[in-house]
Each structure stands twice: as structure tokens, then as C-alpha cells.
């Protein structure tokens, strides 16, 4: 029992308490409310930190209670009590795992909402249909988490599925979770579009960008660097979006990044949403360039973007989903494609890695 729950091995709880005291002192200081935006950020930080501390305090109390109960059961040789202790231990173990996972989501933007883009790879109808399946999977996962999603840009496939789609996800820790889905996803199946019923391999990519407020980062977007086009909306979004040229496409000329939004009724609202997507993409590009430079300085070479295949979904000749980063497998691809992704997301974010061998 001793050492079953020792937070010092996970993180410095005492340091977190000191950090909370420092925030309380800052909040109580004169002039704290002179900067409304900064004060709100500090209050949010304090709330999150207090919640973290309270969670671990509660777990420690539970561990202490279980220890006392176990000692009583052993002294009295009470098998019923010892059985209860084992049940309580199992529940505590689950709670500790959940708390440890929540602590892992401590990145700068992990609490934020995000934008998710799904793009079909080479292969025409096959890949476009696969991209449509991935879109449904990610939307179902977000729905199960209670997050709100809005499709902001949608390009239909030629015969089925989609060429590309971007949607926003609004919910706590949406980016922290969904960033685990960024990369290339591979599907192996008997093609429903092949009259000879042959096996096909299709690829689609997922990109995830945190929603960023302009005040959070030092990225300036000059009007002269933007080309703004308007057009009539099509695809997902409802009939009302097709009546006017309300859709907006923005090209950031220096980088060539193109974003679009057609989900809102007004051109002004679509432009505002498109600018949020652009800011998120520019932020990710800046981070990627910094990481690439750091890797080069360290003598590392890493494939980025389309080279980063993360998961294979095999529907024929057997059924299996395998995460190529962690080695985690599931023999139930239908459930995975229906949005049951935590079995892959959580191990990846927790740094779990098994012996990974890619299949043919």
C-alpha cells in the first residue's frame, strides 16, 4: 500500500501549492484589474491550478483511507474488508490514471478549442471516400466528448466523400485531445468502387490547429499580405448559405496558406472565422519552423506532415486498427470508426510505446 500513490513521483505538488499562493497574491494586489484581459487569464490559470491540486489532494486522502482500512482488515483477518479494499484500490487506480492523463494535458494551448482539417490523398474516389469516413469518426469522437463542432469549409468529393473539410471544435481540452489525431491515416479494404472487388489502400491526412487569440502570440498579419475572395457557398452548411456570395477565401501571400469559411450567413462572420483559422495555421507553421531548426541544430531528421503516418485501419483480409506510434491495436475497426478513439489518444499522449512493426 505504501507508495501506491505518491504524487512526488508524478509532479511537485508542493510547488503547485506555492504557485497557487503566488497567483492569489497577484490577484489581491492593487491594480490587478487594470488589465481586464490579463486578469481574466490569471483567474483562469488559478481555477485550473486549484482544480488540479484538489484532485490530487482527494486521491491522497482516498489512498490514506484505503491504507487504514487494509490495516484493520489484516489485524482482524476480515476477508470481507480486504475484498472491499481491493475494490477500492481498483477504483483509485482508475482515478489516478485519469488524473495523470489530465495532468499530461498541460501544454500551452491544450485547454483551447481547435480547428481540424481532413484532406484526401492521391487516389481519387477511394481516398475521398476515406476522408469522409475520417471526418465522421472525428465528429463522433468530438460529439461523445460534449464538444461543439461547426464545419467551416467543405469541398465535396467527385463521386463520394470529400476532397477536404475544415471544422472548428469548441470545448475544454479539445486541442489537447485531438492533436493526437494529426498525421496520415491509412485504410486497407475491398473497394466498394471497384467492380472487380479488389483490395485498395487509401490515404488521408488530418491537421489540427489550436484556436489562438491574437493577444497570445506575436504574429502580425498585414492587410497587404492578404488576398480575399468571395464566392457562393456550397456543400454542408444548409440551404441559406447558397443564396449570396457570403463565403470567404483568404490567401496569405507570403506563405501561400489558404483558408476559407462558408458556414455563416454573413460575409463578415465568415471572414472573422477564416482569420481565426489563418492565425492558427500561421502559429503552427511558426512552431514547426522552430522545431525543425532545433532538430537540425541537434542533428536530428524528422519527417513532417504527409510523411508522418500514424495509424492503419485494415478491413480486409482481417480486421484491425493499429497505431503505428504506440503499437496499440484494436480488432474492432467499426467501433473505432464510430468515434471510440480514446484507446489510441490516451496512450499516445501518455507516452506509451510498445514494440511497433508496420504491417504490409
Residue 141 and residue 176 in contact, taking contact as beta carbons nearer than 8 Å: no
pLDDT digits (tens, 9 = 90+) for 297-325: 445 443 334 456 899 999 999 999 999 99
How far is CA 175 from each of CA 105, 147, 168, 290, rounded to the nearest angstrom?
A: 9, 11, 10, 20
Residues 124 and 55 in one domain: no
> Does residue 322 lie in a domain region?
yes
Q: Residue 12 belongs to a domain with what CATH number? A: 1.20.58.410
Residues 121 and 195 in one domain: yes
Q: Is the pLDDT of residue 155 over 80?
A: yes
> Does residue 306 lie in a domain region?
yes
Residues 148 and 239 in one domain: no
> Does residue 290 lie in a domain region?
no
What single DSSP character describes residue 201? E
What distance in Å separates the CA atoms of residue 267 and residue 248, rounded to the nearest whole number?
7
Burial call 227-236: b when 16+ CB within 10 Å, e when fewer: eeeeeebebb
What distance in Å separates the CA atoms of residue 63 and residue 292, rounded to the nearest whole number?
44
Residues 131 and 82 in one domain: no
Residues 306 and 255 in one domain: no
Domain that holds residue 254: 223-282
Pick 144 or 105 by higher pLDDT: 144
- CA-angle at 205, arms to 203 and 209, nearest 5°: 175
> Does residue 357 lie in a domain region?
no
- If one counts the domains in the chain, the total is 3
Residues 120 and 206 in one domain: yes
Task: Name which of 63-72, 99-108, 114-123, 162-171 the model is least confident about.
Answer: 99-108
pLDDT digits (tens, 9 = 90+) for 233-285: 765 544 444 456 789 999 999 999 999 999 888 899 999 999 999 999 998 88
Residues 51 and 79 in one domain: yes
- Which stretch, 12-21, 145-154, 283-292, has highest mean pLDDT? 145-154
Q: Residue 251 belongs to a domain with what CATH number? A: 3.30.160.20
Residues 37 and 74 in one domain: yes
State the number of CA atoms in the 13 A half-sphere of 155 facing the CB: 12
Amino acid at each position: 500500500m505504501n507508495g501506491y500513490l505518491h504524487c512526488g513521483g508524478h509532479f511537485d505538488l508542493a510547488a503547485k501549492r506555492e504557485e497557487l499562493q503566488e497567483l492569489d497574491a497577484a490577484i489581491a494586489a492593487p491594480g490587478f484589474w487594470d488589465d481586464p484581459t490579463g486578469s481574466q487569464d490569471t483567474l483562469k490559470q488559478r481555477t485550473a491550478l486549484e482544480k488540479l491540486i484538489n484532485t490530487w489532494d482527494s486521491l491522497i486522502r482516498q489512498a490514506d483511507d484505503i491504507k487504514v482500512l487494509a490495516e484493520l482488515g489484516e489485524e482482524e483477518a476480515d476477508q470481507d474488508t480486504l475484498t472491499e479494499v481491493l475494490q477500492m484500490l481498483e477504483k483509485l487506480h482508475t482515478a489516478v490514471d485519469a488524473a495523470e492523463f489530465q495532468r499530461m494535458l498541460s501544454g500551452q494551448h491544450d485547454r483551447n478549442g481547435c480547428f481540424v482539417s481532413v484532406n484526401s490523398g492521391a487516389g481519387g474516389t477511394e481516398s475521398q471516400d476515406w476522408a469522409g469516413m475520417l471526418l465522421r469518426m472525428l465528429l463522433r469522437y468530438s460529439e461523445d466528448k460534449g464538444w461543439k463542432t461547426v464545419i467551416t469549409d467543405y469541398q465535396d468529393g467527385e463521386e463520394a466523400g470529400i476532397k477536404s473539410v475544415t471544422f472548428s471544435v469548441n470545448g475544454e481540452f479539445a486541442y489537447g485531445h485531438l492533436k493526437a489525431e494529426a498525421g496520415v491515416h491509412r485504410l486497407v479494404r475491398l473497394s466498394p468502387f471497384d467492380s472487380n472487388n479488389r483490395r485498395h489502400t487509401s490515404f488521408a491526412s488530418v491537421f489540427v490547429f489550436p484556436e489562438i487569440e491574437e493577444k497570445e502570440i506575436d504574429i502580425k498579419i498585414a492587410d497587404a499580405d492578404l488576398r480575399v475572395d468571395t464566392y457562393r457557398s456550397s456543400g454542408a452548411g444548409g440551404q441559406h448559405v447558397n443564396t449570396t456570395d457570403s463565403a470567404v477565401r483568404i490567401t496569405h501571400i507570403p506563405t501561400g496558406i489558404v483558408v476559407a469559411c462558408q458556414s455563416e450567413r454573413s460575409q463578415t462572420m465568415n471572414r472573422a472565422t477564416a482569420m481565426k483559422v489563418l492565425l492558427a495555421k500561421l502559429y503552427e507553421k511558426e512552431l514547426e519552423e522552430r522545431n525543425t531548426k532545433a532538430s537540425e541544430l541537434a542533428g536530428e531528421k524528422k519527417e513532417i506532415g504527409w510523411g508522418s503516418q500514424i495509424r492503419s485501419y485494415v478491413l480486409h483480409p482481417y480486421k484491425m486498427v493499429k497505431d503505428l506510434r504506440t503499437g496499440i491495436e484494436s480488432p474492432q475497426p467499426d467501433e473505432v470508426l464510430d468515434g471510440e478513439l480514446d484507446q489510441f489518444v490516451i496512450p499516445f499522449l501518455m507516452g506509451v510505446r510498445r514494440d511497433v512493426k508496420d504491417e504490409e
